[in-house]
Amino acid sequence: MMQPGGEMQLRATDASTNLLGYPCTRYEIKQWGQTMQIWATDQLPPFQMYEANQPLRGGPPVIELRWGDLLAEKKLFPLLASLRLNNGFERYRFEVQSVTPAIFTNRMDKDFQVPPDYIELQPRPF
Q: Is residue 123 part of a domain?
A: no
Query: What's the domain range around 70?
Result: 11-100
Give dist(CA 104, CA 7) in Å, integer: 37
Write the CB contacts of 113 (distance below 8 Å, at least 6 apart in sequence).
none
Total domains in the chain come to 1
Count CB-CB contacts under 10 A for residue 25: 16
| pTM tops 0.75, yes or no | no
Q: Is residue 24 part of a domain?
A: yes
Q: Is residue 115 part of a domain?
A: no
Q: Is residue 109 part of a domain?
A: no
The tens digit of pLDDT for each residue in 16-75 reads: 999 999 999 999 999 888 899 999 999 998 888 776 555 555 555 577 778 888 989 999
Write the CB contacts of 66 (distance below 8 Å, at least 6 apart in sequence).
8, 29
